[in-house]
């Protein structure tokens, strides 16, 4: 079944708004709520930065059925993998069957402000992520764990409060090497619109690695982040996305900067043009439906809607009335097997 997710953009919205929007999201029909995990926001102007794991617990407590988790937690520096395991084990104990965790290699803007030296080598970040996923899984499933990795070491560590049910781990990436980690240890992969150019290669990398590990690739989920800003006034909807323009700066440039003020100053027309291409600027429901149709044909299992709309309450109600029911109906249609009638 298709799961529909609401992406809580903590960088752009205050904690009280996030809680309010999450409650509305469950009422209008979302199945999953994802909380972004940043220390610094992408822009200084209007930026927010609540602690995400605390927000996951509050949202789970304020809602009744939706699954709640993070996208994307980076267990490399400011979060030790064992502490990630402990935090989410506690959430999984309190809210069994409703917690998930998305992991990735992250951004320097969230690590270097705390005094960590960000690796210049992609291989190091990938290896750190792999070790982190291994440690988290071991602590959730074993008793006293000793682990001697290249980057992380734990000695006879035990989580005395374990999750009551399995917590899904998803890996966010547009990189084939990182996708292999999902195939080895995780429950699926998350891509954003920028990763769709090599989507098939990424999924193939995950599934091939799963087969090598005697895991069933059909059980691995495919997730996507769909970015949209809605308003009947196009210019107003577009202006609201400018908060995210820093995220469109070329990675090798933005990785050298951790101050949101500097990132904001680096934004040029080039980044604004990228935002126009990677975000859907919509003035009616039909535009959203038409755009989502292409993603549904890729047979994603979970689609998160990340909104930068000027009036989020209004947009959530429009999604519940027009878009979410259509998504489920269309998904069932494309998944329905073709019946061949013989004479």
State mean pLDDT over 189-205: 86
Tell me the pTM. 0.95
Question: What string of DSSP letters covers 310-322?
Answer: SSHHHHHHHIIII
Domain segments of the chain as ranges: 3-335
Alpha carbon 322 to its chain centroid, in Å, reads 24
Contacts of 156 (CB under 8 A, 6+ apart): 144, 145, 146
CATH dotted code for 3-335: 3.20.20.30
Mean pLDDT, rounded, for 250-255: 92
By residue count, the chain amounts to 343
Q: Is a pLDDT exceeding 60 seen at residue 287?
A: yes
> Can you give the pLDDT at residue 198?
87
Mean pLDDT of the chain: 95
- Which residues are within 8 A (CB) of 32 and not within 5 positions of it... i.e. 6 or more apart? 3, 4, 5, 6, 66, 67, 68, 69, 100, 302, 304
What pLDDT score does 334 carry?
80
Query: What gap in Å lies between CA 38 and CA 21, rounded to an integer?
Result: 19
Which pLDDT belongs to residue 301? 95
Report the C-alpha gap between 340 and 337 in whole angstroms.
Answer: 9
pLDDT of residue 11 exceeding 50, the answer is yes
Tens-place pLDDT, residues 161-177: 999 999 999 999 989 99
**Residues 268, 44, 244, 241: is their CA dihedral positive or negative?**
negative
Among the listed residues 28, 35, 33, 29, the one whose alpha carbon sits nearest the alpha carbon of residue 5: 33
Say if residue 195's pLDDT is above 70. no
Residue whose C-alpha is closest to residue 274's, from 233, 294, 254, 246: 246
DSSP string of 140-197, one letter each residue: HH-SSEEEE-SS-EEEEE--SS--SSPPPEEEE-S-HHHHHHHHHH-SEEEE-GGGGG
Q: What are residue 304's DSSP bridge partners?
A: 5, 225
Computed on alpha carbons and rounded to an integer, the radius of gyration of the chain in Å comes to 20
Average pLDDT estimate for 53-70: 98
pLDDT, one tens digit per residue, over 15-42 is 999 999 999 999 999 999 999 999 999 9
Q: Are 140 and 89 in contact (CB under 8 A)?
A: yes
307 strand-pairing partners: 228
pLDDT over 50 (residue 59): yes
66-75 confidence digits (pLDDT tens): 999 999 999 9
Does residue 323 surpass a pLDDT of 70? yes
Which pLDDT does position 299 carry in this prediction?
86
CB–CB of 193/278 below 8 Å?
yes
């Amino acid at each position: 079944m298709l799961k529909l997710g609401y992406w809580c953009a903590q960088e752009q919205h205050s904690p009280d708004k996030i809680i309010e929007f999450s409650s509305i999201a469950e009422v209008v029909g979302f199945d999953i709520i994802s909380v972004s995990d940043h220390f610094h926001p992408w822009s200084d102007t209007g930026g927010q930065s609540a602690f995400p794991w605390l927000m996951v617990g509050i949202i789970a407590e304020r809602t009744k059925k939706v699954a709640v988790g993070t996208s994307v937690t980076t267990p490399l520096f400011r979060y030790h993998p064992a502490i990630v395991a402990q935090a989410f084990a506690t959430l999984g104990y309190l809210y069994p069957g409703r917690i998930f965790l998305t992991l990735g290699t992250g951004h320097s803007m969230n690590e270097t402000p705390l005094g960590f030296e960000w690796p210049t080598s992609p291989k190091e970040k990938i290896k750190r992520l792999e070790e982190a996923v291994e440690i988290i899984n071991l602590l959730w499933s074993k008793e006293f764990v000793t682990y001697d990795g290249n980057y992380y070491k734990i000695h006879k560590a035990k989580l005395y409060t374990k999750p009551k049910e399995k917590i899904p781990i998803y890996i966010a990436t547009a990189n084939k090497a990182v996708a292999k980690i999902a195939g080895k240890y995780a429950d699926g992969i998350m891509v954003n619109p920028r990763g769709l150019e090599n989507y098939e290669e990424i999924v193939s990398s995950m599934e091939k690695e799963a087969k090598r590990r005697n895991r069933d690739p059909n059980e691995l989920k495919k997730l996507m982040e769909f970015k949209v800003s809605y308003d009947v006034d196009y210019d107003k909807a577009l202006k609201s996305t400018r908060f995210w323009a820093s995220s469109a700066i070329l990675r090798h440039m933005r990785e050298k900067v951790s101050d949101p003020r500097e990132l904001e100053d680096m934004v040029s027309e080039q980044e604004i043009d990228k935002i126009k291409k990677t975000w859907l600027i919509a003035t009616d429901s039909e535009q959203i439906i038409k755009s989502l149709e292409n993603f549904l044909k890729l047979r994603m299992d979970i689609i998160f809607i990340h909104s930068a709309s000027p009036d989020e309450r209004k947009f959530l109600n429009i999604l519940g009335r027009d878009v979410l029911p259509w998504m489920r109906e269309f998904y069932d249609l494309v998944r329905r097997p073709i019946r061949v009638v013989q004479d």
